[in-house]
Amino acid sequence: MPELPEVETVVRELGPRLRGRRLKAITVSRYPLRKPWLKEWDRLLRGRRVANIRRRGKWIIVDLDHEAHLVIHLGMTGQLTVKSTLDPLGTHTHLVFVLDKGRHELRFRDIRRFGSASVFASRQSLERFFLEVELGPEPFDLAAGYWKAQLARTSRCLKAVLLDQRVVAGVGNIYADESLFQARLHPAQPGRATTPEQAARLRRGIILVLNRAIKRRGSSIRDYIGGSGRQGEYQKEFRVYGRTGEPCPRCGAPITGIRLAGRSTHFCPQCQRLDES
């Protein structure tokens, strides 16, 4: 599933291609996404100009004039790109937004259809939506006191805390593993067993890993492509994720793979020792 770096890459690459352009028409396939497309949304979008495109957690927000907002979640296999109308429409393309005079289109392709698209008529309704999903702060905005308190109050393992979008938004399986390795912390360590120094180290590790991944345009493992249609390259720099049995880049010990918090989890048993005292 695309995580923060992948979604941020899509937003950055679509920005120059979308800002200032007007949505002329919308075509919806007969196969529904995770949420059905409502006919009334066509009226809300048609003729609106794109003011901005931004990210919140793993959500893409297209801000339109007159306070309307198109909100897209890529799900597991979603791809959001601007294409010439002369380019053949790829299979599994479920939403097409015709731009300006009809020479280009914003296309949402999603093979598994776990993605979603919704329209909000006002800033208040958009804010209410994010309150209802209880989306936590952005990793780059994590206050030190808040982060330490969130860890100290839970017996859940660090991997589960990082995956909880209510605690911190945008981090998923790949970057949870990579951040824990960066911080030299075992993914099974209980949150409340984390010292203030370790909490600070993990907070720094999350930001460092995410920034590094954004610079490489995210990770392309299966279906992910950026807003320009190009793949990401951070998968070439994974330290632990998906590297079970391979040598740790720090100490050479074989990377271990286990199941934790319902997800495949990868770590170095030497660099990320679990203190069971």
**From 12, 49, 216, 263, the catalytic residue:** 263
Measure the CA–CA gap between 247 and 62, rounded to whole angstroms.
43
**From 3, 6, 8, 178, the catalytic residue:** 3
**From 55, 58, 148, 239, the catalytic residue:** 58
**From 2, 5, 139, 187, the catalytic residue:** 2
For 244-253, give one letter per residue: b (16+ CB within 10 A) or e.
eeeebeeeee
Measure the CA–CA gap between 43 and 26, rounded to whole angstroms.
10
Measure the CA–CA gap between 147 and 44, rounded to whole angstroms.
39
5 is catalytic: no
For 73-89, give one letter per residue: b (16+ CB within 10 A) or e.
bbbebbbbbbbeeeeee
Strand partners, 95: 28, 108
58 is catalytic: yes
Integer CA distances (angstroms), 177 to 28, 97, 117, 209, 256, in order:
37, 36, 29, 10, 11
236 is catalytic: no
Question: Which residues are CB-contacts of 23 (< 8 A; sequence separation ≥ 6)?
Answer: 45, 46, 47, 48, 49, 50, 64, 97, 98, 99, 106
6 is catalytic: no
Are the C-beta atoms of residues 169 and 55 closer than 8 Å to each other?
A: no
Are the C-beta atoms of residues 266 and 248 closer than 8 Å to each other?
A: no
- Active-site residue set: 2-3, 58, 263
